[in-house]
Structure 1
Amino acid sequence: MMNGIQKNIAGLLLSLFTISGASASVSLAGTRVIYDGAKKEASVQLENPDKTPYLVQSWINTADNDKSKKSPFVITPPLFRLDPQQKNVLRIILTGPLPEDKESLFWLNVKGIPGGPTGDNSIQIAVNTIVKLIYRPKSLGKSIPTDHKDQLSWRLSGSQIQVSNASPYYINFGRIAVAGKKLEKVSYVAPGGVAHFDLPKGVTGGDVAFAIINDQGGVSQEFHSHI
């Protein structure tokens, strides 16, 4: 027998399974935006693959996601309607100074707010897609992050692996493995910065195999080091 609380939970779960969820929302072309400092702007293509229109709202946050800080970019258009099966382009324009000797990281937010009537058994959810926006100064030339893999230094730091980045690029990792065991959670290391990632249990050193995410969002070949 179920008590009242259990019945309420069961009823809620049943209702969730009988409600048709929101659709895929607005899609972005790519998983990151590289702003080439040699150009006046960067662009991002959006598409609405759905059968309902969306109100699209876009903004940029700083690397630490502190919403009180103003980013040195403007987006146009910041708010617009995107009809079913239609595309549009966001233009990102730099309006303030940034370091010219290394990359700078920001977060591009694109929120799709569904419009139109809903049925009795449907819900509509606004989906906010967040991707990296990396400003790459003109002074860095045509090299890419994978060209600087040898500027990464690896060492043990307790139960973690520490990676130091002597390059002027953000190095985003697709995967890292130590002694053949894959690390569960990896992200990136900033230019001139240090990052720490938890080691798998029982691993105390050995071969380090890592892959870097490229400008198109793909994963590079595997590189090797040792700790």
Structure 2
Amino acid sequence: MNFLSKTFFACAVISAGMSFASAGVIIGGTRVIYDGNKKEASISVNNPDSTPYLIQSWVETQSGGAEKAPFIITPPLYRLDKGQQNIERILLAGAPPQDKESLYWLNIKAIPSAKRVENSLQIAVKTRIKLIYRPAALKGTFPEQLAGKLTWQRTGNQIQVTNPTNYVMNFNEITVGGKKLKDVTYVLPGSTASFNLPSGVSGGAVIYKIINDYGGTGEAHNASI
């Protein structure tokens, strides 16, 4: 078997359910919450496939730029054979803000093994999930408990949400005037985010749901614009 020689790699992001499946490799979660009271966080990577994979993992900042994220992963590169599971440990190696949550991206790339074949195409699938650092000072409270503090207003053909809390608010869904918004994401602590309003909607009741720490959906919250 040869993982890297004379192959080309294409990358894609796949997400489904309460775990991520990457071309046979299963990631044990849709997000990682790093509790600042603990020395590390972890996530499992399983290979139920008959093909061995080379697994490469790293953490990026929220913008995905050149700035170095304050975390390291061990092991960062390893082989995962058929039926094997590995636990990746995420260790703090810097000083993220201690007064609010911070959002980073955990990347896990699964590269399948292949025989040496000239001009072959090999697909490497990259899973990208949220890594949220929660400082020790925020212990005892969860985003869902404070989701009602979000404020909403219309700005042109968009709806703008303001987050006065110290938590990252990840949206499962937002509806305005009975119509569901497309491509809703999140709003960072102390920040605003904007999403396009559905065609023909200019205002009305706002109903939104937050994704909890376990990837599930919280209760519906109500507002208006």
Whether TM exceeds 0.5 here: the answer is yes
Gaps of 5+ in 2: 1-21
Match of 1:35 in 2: 34
Contact 1:25 1:127 in 2 (8 A): no
Aligned ranges for residues 1-227 of structure 1 at < 5 Å?
24-66=23-65, 68-117=66-115, 124-227=122-225
Residues 119-178 of structure 1, C-alpha deviation per residue, up to 9 Å, x if partnerless? 9xx954110100000000000012111111122000111100000000000000000000
Deviations 1:46-85 (A, max 9, x none): 101211000100001100000x211111110000000011
Question: Identity of counterpart residues, as a percentage?
Answer: 53
Looking at structure 1, the residues matched to 169 and 185 of structure 2 have their Cα atoms a distance apart, in angstroms, of: 9
SS in 2 for 1:149: helix
Q: Is the 8 A contact 1:160 1:197 kept in 2?
A: yes
With a CA cutoff of 8 Å and minimum separation of 6, indicate the structure with the bigger relative contact order. Answer: 2
How much does 1:221 deviate?
Answer: 1.9
TM-score (norm 2): 0.87
Aligned partners of 1:118 and 1:124 also within 8 Å: no
Give the structure with the higher percent helix.
Answer: 1
1:41/1:93 contact within 8 Å kept: yes
CA displacement at 1:116 relative to structure 2: 3.7
CA distance, structure 1, for counterparts of residue 147 and residue 57 of structure 2 = 33
Gaps of 5+ in 1: 1-22
Counterpart position of 1:7: none
**One-letter amino acid of the counterpart of residue 33, structure 1:** V
Q: Secondary structure at the match of 1:221?
A: strand
What are the Cα deviations for residues 171-220 of structure 1, in whole angstroms up to 9, with x where unaligned? 00000000100001100000000000000011111100000011111111
Runs ≥4 in structure 1, deviation > 6 angstroms? none
Residue identity in the other structure for 1:28: I
Q: Which has the higher strand share?
A: 2
| TM-score, scaled to structure 1 | 0.86
Distance 1:185 1:109 in 2: 21
What is the aligned-residue RMSD (CA, Å)? Answer: 1.6
Cα distance change on mapping 1:118 and 1:223 into 2, 3 Å: farther
Q: Give the aligned length.
A: 203
Letter in 2 for 1:64: S
Rg (Cα) greater in structure: 1
Cα contact 1:105–1:134 (8 A) shared by 2: yes
Is the contact made by 1:110 and 1:128 (CA closer than 8 Å) also made in structure 2? yes
8 A Cα contact 2:148 2:221, kept in partner: no
